[in-house]
Amino acid sequence: MSSSARDRGVLAALLTLAVLVTSGCSYVVIGEARSQGMPTESVDDGTLTVVGATDGPIDTLARNALADLETYWSATFPDVYGQAFQPLTGGYFSVDPNDVDPSLYPEGIGCGTDPRELENNAFYCSAQGAPNSDSISYDRAFLGELAAEYGEVLPQLVMAHEFGHAVQGRVGYPEASIATETQADCLAGAWTAWVAEGNGDYATIDTADLDQLLRGYFLLRDPVGTGTGEQQAHGSYFDRVSAFQEGFDDGPTACRDNYGPGRVFTQGEFTSDEDFASGGNAPFTDTTETILPNSLSEFWGRAFTEVLDAEFTEPQLDSTSGAPDCAADAVALVYCADGGDGAGLVAYDTGFAEQAYDEFGDYAVVTGVAIPYALAAREQLGLSTDDTEALQSAVCLTGWYSAQVYNGELESVTISPGDIDESVQFLLTYGNDPDVLADVELTGFQLVDLFRAGFLNGAEPCDVGV
């Protein structure tokens, strides 16, 4: 992001993704595979067959997820789409591309693809007339890498996402690639909620796994600066996480209804070499000395006047080394009602702000400071500022503020591609860290969901009387 009077400045490297040419989704692989914590029991192979599968933990995870996906969609599809769900006719294929026995795949895998070409991928094949059409294929070594880094829930998510494409294959795809991919994320979220509620016969997902799952989604986003019209656009980090949470919260009918041409995506395209070089970050000093005070003051002044029917008085905004004297706890982000010059004090630790900037970017710093600033606004509205409900509200209000930044409603700041992704990264990494915000009793998943609510719906869900 940038101050409206300056060009955009420095940043981090782009994430590169391998492109799947055949038909489906592509991901990046990191980490080393390990099987600790993996399931030891699997749905019987006679009930659900995965061609090429082993008895190892990754194939067990995939087979269990696919079995419960069949159960879920068989029961849910008629209510959502008004017709019976037709099982996949092409089946399922597991491959280790570095150790392929060709005799197991006489016609290749999905769409007749050579199994050695599946490296680092999973995909659904819908090409009518192709060998093994209407099937899901996956690289089990790739799923093992995901499990090693982000837990066993992420390979299950990959299966649920690809099964979402199978659902689309029966009812029709959205027009744009980015809508197709995020709708599949939404459908995966609906299934995940069903499993998390204890309905699965074989798959298990604990709500504690959901923070890890959302962190794993970072690997599945498009590189920052990719346009929404790209042929294989999958969405920004926020777009994909938001779609998953929409399905998780609101169920499959929301996935059915909300992915038409009018859906808004935060993914943005870099339009110059300078954009690619900078990545969209303003210098740290511009972020803290100009963007933060100007944009937060402008937003809350307008919010009070136009929406909350009140007059806003700016709190004092300071950077500190450590917590200010008025803080009850030594945390990095502080609001003190009895500090400052009469309207309270919003303070942030400079060292922490520099750390968040270096790790994620300028808008991570903005997101963090916007939370205690929202507490200052709640104080002026006569609302609580020191309980869980106050923090929930402040995160939601930060989403509302961020939507105004994103939509270009503020004169003091300009959005850059990837900025809203930095909000997700900040909340998942630091939002429930007791050294950052005091007395946090919320998961990262819950914090991102609150931010998403404010971003998409404005002040109404944020508990400020609107």
Q: Which residue has the higher pLDDT, 398 or 215?
A: 398
Q: How confident is the model at residue 416 (pLDDT cuts 50, 70, 90)?
A: confident
Question: What's the CA gap between 422 and 17, in Å, rounded?
Answer: 19
pLDDT at position 92? 97
- Residue of 325 and 276 predicted with greater confidence: 325
pLDDT given at position 45 = 54
Q: How far apart are CA 200 and CA 196, in angstroms?
A: 8
15 belongs to a structural domain: no
Nearest C-alpha neighbor of 409 from the set 56, 89, 4, 57: 4
More confident residue, 443 or 228: 443
Q: State the Cα angle at 404 between 399 and 410, rounded to 5°.
A: 140
Question: Same structural domain for residues 438 and 298?
Answer: yes
Query: Which is more confident, 422 or 441?
Result: 422
Distance from chain centroid for Cα 408: 22
- Measured over the CA atoms of residue 266, residue 272, residue 273 and residue 275, the dihedral's sign is negative
Residues 244 and 298 in one domain: no
Q: Which range (1-10, 227-236, 259-268, 415-424) has the least confidence?
A: 1-10
Same domain as 287, residue 141: no
For residue 330, being part of any structural domain is answered with yes
User: Which of 257, 292, 317 delimits the end of a domain?
Assistant: 257
State the pLDDT at residue 175.
85
Q: Which residues does residue 51 pair with via DSSP β-bridges, in sequence order?
A: 93
Flag whether 101 is in a domain.
Answer: yes
Q: Which of 121-125, 246-250, 325-329, 336-340 has the lowest mean pLDDT?
A: 325-329
**Is the separation of the CB atoms in 360 and 368 below 8 Å?**
no
Instruction: Give the mean model confidence (pLDDT) for residues 393-402.
Output: 97
Residue 267 lies in a domain: no
**Largest pairwise CA distance in the chain:** 77
In this model, does residue 356 exceed pLDDT 70? yes
CA 17 vs. chain centroid, Å, equals: 17
Domain-located, residue 227 = yes
Q: Give the alpha-carbon dihedral of 405, 408, 410, 414, to 10 degrees.
A: 70
Could you read off the pLDDT of 80-100 as tens digits, one per residue? Answer: 999 999 999 999 999 999 999
Same domain, 43 and 192: yes
Rounded to whole angstroms, the Cα distance separating 135 from 158 reads 14
* Residue finishing a domain among 241, 257, 273: 257
Residue 330: the pLDDT is 78
Task: Please tell me the least confidently modeled range out of 24-28, 155-159, 252-256.
Answer: 24-28
Shared domain for 332 and 400, answered yes or no, is yes
Confidence (pLDDT) at 216: 83
Q: Is the distance from CB of 346 to CB of 335 less than 8 angstroms?
A: yes
Residue 56 lies in a domain: yes
Give yes or no: residues 156 and 286 share one domain. no
Residues 77 and 193 in one domain: yes
| Residue-range definition of the domain harbouring residue 393 | 281-462
Question: How many domains is the chain partitioned into structurally?
Answer: 2
Do strands 316-320 and 135-139 pair parallel, antiparallel, or not at all (unpaired)?
A: unpaired
Is 84 domain-assigned? yes
End-to-end Cα spacing for the chain: 29
Task: Answer yes or no: do 251 and 330 share one domain.
Answer: no
Main-chain phi, psi angles of 392, to 5 degrees: -55, -45
Verify that 57 and 99 share a domain, yes or no: yes
**Does residue 14 register a pLDDT over 70?**
no
> DSSP 3-state assignment of 328?
coil
Residues 60 and 161 in one domain: yes
Indicate if the pLDDT at residue 222 is higher than 80. no
pLDDT (mean) for 299-306: 97
Domain boundary among 215, 241, 257: 257
Contact 320, 297 (CB under 8 A): no
Does 209 share its domain with 297? no
- Report how far Cα 158 is from the mean position of its chain's Cα atoms: 14
pTM of the model: 0.86
Identify whether residues 93 and 233 lie together within a single domain. yes
- Of 28-37, 288-297, 363-372, where does mean pLDDT reach its minimum? 28-37
The answer to whether residue 266 sits within a structural domain is: no
Q: Please write the tens of the pLDDT for every residue from 195-214.
A: 999 999 999 988 778 998 89
